[in-house]
Amino acid sequence: MPKILSLLTPSAASSLRPPILRRVPTTRLLPRRTSATMAGAEVSGEIFDLQNYPTPLSPPCPAISKEVELRRAMSAASRSSFFVLTGDDIVFEDEWLAVVNKPSGSTLPAPQAELHLANRLDRDTSGLMIITKSHRAAAKLVEAFTEHRVKKTYLALCIGRAPVWGRIRISSGHGRSRFGAWRVYSTADVGRTLPGGSRVKHMATSFELLALDGREVRAERAEETVAAVEKAVAEAEEGGEEPGEILVRALPESGRTHQIRLHCQYLAMPIKGDVKYGGVHEWEGEECDFHALHAESLMFEHPVTGLPLQFQSPLPPWAREASRGVL
């Protein structure tokens, strides 16, 4: 069996990159108000600019997120010197590609020679990644990802009030706000220009409710479709009950940056530990060292042989505990 382990060992230097500085055009802003009206649109609790850019529907990153993210990045950098992919991490390998199971809190650097990362996961996200070993295989897989022919599922452990739905599909806009953060936008804003010159793009995710507080969901629940047009989705909550653990399976139909994390935030059930998008950084007396998101499965056509391939990743400890036999 071909060996690729020595080419995939991360280094501490590759885990942290210097920030990219960009010149931002100067615009005059209205003062912060509880309510402001402009061009027939009401904006609550936002700074609204005179160029009439689209207004994000999801909130900005909380102040504590910078401190938490920096601490996690430094911790990951110190661990990366000791992280080495082993045979146990390789789910599949042939002469054209390898499928590996990335642990949470680690990053894989850009591979050497003809090796390519076909898909990427956030530092804290664990699960399946594809590494190709030739330009031919890489080009074919890039095309498959672009055309949405690679099917993926994720597991996410969220914190919030129990949803009334059993399955839900949410579609929205996606883009960078004035200060560079990824935000949810209205579906009506898709195609509109954002600060910096980029445009709002469409994204869609389907969610399946698996368990609530570790118990399998047995009762029949509704199936819903949501198009993001408002700042809140009140239907995502029921009653006045206390927030609890919500285990969901996510099926992204598009491949936008932080898509699942953003949609969980919009549905009022941010991922546990995902402080950047409204998640708790402490839960039941314990600090969350990472966000609970796992790339569970991959299904695609082999880029060279054309054979159908399907892979399932081993569950991380938090997912085993949250599912308790459901998965």
Q: Which of 89, 122, 189, 274 is labelled catalytic?
A: 122
The beta strand positions in the chain, using DSSP E, are 36-38, 41-43, 90-93, 97-102, 116-117, 126-132, 151-160, 165-176, 182-185, 201-212, 215-216, 222-227, 244-252, 282-283, 286-287, 293-301, 308-312
- Helix (H) or strand (E) run with residue 15 in it: helix 12-15
In the three-class reduction of DSSP (H, G, I as helix; E, B as strand; rest coil), residue 303 is classed as coil
Cα gap 201→100, rounded to integer Å: 30
Number of H helices, E strands in the chain: 5, 17
Contact 54, 38 (CB under 8 A): no
Q: Which residue type, as a one-letter code, is found at position 17? A: R
Q: Identify whether 122 is a catalytic site residue.
A: yes
Q: Which residue type, as a one-letter code, is found at position 304? A: V
Q: What is the bridge-based pairing of β-strands 201-212 and 215-216?
A: antiparallel
Summarize the chain as % helix, strand, coil (round to 5). 20, 30, 50
Phi, psi (5° rounding) for residue 196?
A: 100, -15
Distances (CA, A) of 61 to 67, 158, 181, 185: 11, 17, 8, 15
Contact 240, 169 (CB under 8 A): no
**188-221 burial by CB neighbour count: b if 16+ within 10 A, else e?**
ebbeeebbbeeebebbbbbbbbbbbeeeebeeee
On the CB side of 31, how many CA atoms lie within 13 Å of its CA? 1
**Tokens for 31?**
């003062």
The catalytic residue positions are: 122
